[in-house]
Amino acid sequence: MKLSCIRTIIYLSLFLPLLGGFVILSGLKARAKTITVTNVLDGTAEAVEKAGYLGLAVEETSWYAYREPEDAYIEVKAHIQQGADYTLKEIIADTNTNIFGEDSPIDTKETGDYRIIITYEYEGDIYKGMLNYTVSPEIDNEAPIIFKGPKSINVPNGKAFDIDAYVSYGDYIDAHPSLTYTGSVNTAVNGSYPLKITVSDASGNAQSWNCTVNVYTPSGGGGETPDTRARTQFEDFKLSHPGENYEYGIDVSKWQGNIDFDAVKAAGCDFVMMRISRYDGELIIDPYFERNFTEAKRVGMKVGVYMYTTDVHENELRSHIDFFMQALNGREVDFPIVFDWESWGRFQQYGVSIRELNRMMDVFENQCEKYGYTAMLYGSKNYLNLVWDVKDRYPVWLAHYTANTDYAGDYIMWQASSTGKIPGIAGDVDLDIYYRR
């Protein structure tokens, strides 16, 4: 997203670095005899009758003020957007100084005025100063995203109709976009009812589509629909995806039951990704995790773990990571720990914006690093394109069930099938490729 930039020169109040502290000199340059000295510690200010270089204490502190360099300047962008990712360099429009630490991130969580200490070089000397910048409310020009927007809905006669149960939507900024429709549905009378459905955000951006609700009388009978999906044997999977630096694996959870890892290893499986925990209202360690981890290590397979979660609150997510880290107990894994968030059926129920959801991945990465592990994001092609703001910040485990993926982003692992077969597992299993680098 491109940002507008109004060139507003902000002269820094500077101090020499060897005196153990500083205060801000307000105004462009300290030429007048009366200047204002601001205590950075508590924001108080007082007028001081001095000219030229100053050496004075402020409210029993040992902070000193010095005149800034005559011609040093830094131009700060006038529009810095709330919630956007900026480095120090990216908020500077122009300067005749050399700023140190320019790749450091700056805080934009809340709107308002910020002050940060910077160090820079000007004409061969090193200075410190206070840089002021203002974070403005985010400008939202993007319509909500429709994850599930059916063109037709079938409703049994006599069943209450709630449109929210049949759609899924979200917004990058607005955590609570609104859902409305025009038209009416009478579920007491069979027939087709045309509706126009609209999802709009707080900034007035909207998406609409037409949908027909079909009210019908169930005919009875029914039963389970036969599963006619083709199965892929692990051996055939490897042959169909040759690669010099490829490793072939599976991912498992309690749904695979007791796995014969000797047979899995003998089939040529190099690695296994396993669920360590699950949170979807209830937090548990996968009941097969310990056995899967121990057995996979015993037969010499590489091991990775993933956390399935629907967390949307930072504190809860951190707590849930701490929970599964107790089960992992510092043991070595061969891949980054995976963040698996994939509850898209009724995304609106979580009351979270897409930007806030991306923040959950950042929190996950940060918390894993505290335990000495790196992190990886799991996502399908569709949601990696629509939702996740990867930007090469962390590795990706791609889910795309196809013979040859056309996902354009970077990824280090590909989950290519959910209907695999391998000796040692009775039912279906996901098949994966790791691209060794």
Report pLDDT for 138.
75
Report pLDDT for 53.
29
The predicted-structure confidence for 204-247, as pLDDT tens digits, reads as follows: 999 999 999 999 999 876 677 899 999 999 999 999 999 999 99
Please give the C-alpha separations between residue 251 and each of 144, 297, 404, 413, in angstroms, as whole numbers.
33, 15, 19, 11
CA distance linking residue 401 with residue 381, whole number of Å: 9
β-strand 191-200 against 178-182: which pairing, if any? antiparallel
| pLDDT band at residue 8 under the 50/70/90 scheme | very low
Mean pLDDT of all residues in the chain? 84
Report pLDDT for 1.
28
Contact between residue 175 and residue 352 where contact means Cβ atoms under 8 Å apart: yes
The predicted-structure confidence for 287-311, as pLDDT tens digits, reads as follows: 999 999 999 999 999 999 999 999 9
Report pLDDT for 199.
98
* Among candidate residues 6, 25, 26, 8, the one with its CA nearest the CA of residue 16: 25
| pLDDT band at residue 74 under the 50/70/90 scheme | confident
Contact between residue 149 and residue 177 where contact means Cβ atoms under 8 Å apart: no
Report pLDDT for 68.
60
φ/ψ of 339, rounded to 5, equals: -95, 115
Burial of 297 per CB tally in 10 Å (0-12, 13-18, 19+): middle
Question: Which CATH class for the 232-435 domain?
Answer: alpha beta
CATH code for the part of the protein at 145-216: 2.60.40.10
Report pLDDT for 41.
36
Through-space distance between the first and last CA atoms of the chain, rounded to whole angstroms: 32
DSSP string across 237-297: HHHHS--TTEEEEEEE-GGG-S--HHHHHHTT--EEEEEEEEESSSEEE-TTHHHHHHHHH
| pLDDT band at residue 84 under the 50/70/90 scheme | confident
Report pLDDT for 222.
64
| pLDDT band at residue 44 under the 50/70/90 scheme | very low
Report pLDDT for 279.
98
Domains of the chain, by residue range, sit at 7-136, 145-216, 232-435
Least confident of 11-15, 101-105, 175-179, 361-365: 11-15
The kind and range of the H/E element at 434 are strand 429-435
| pTM, entire model | 0.72
Q: Which residue is it, tokens 């991912």? A: 251
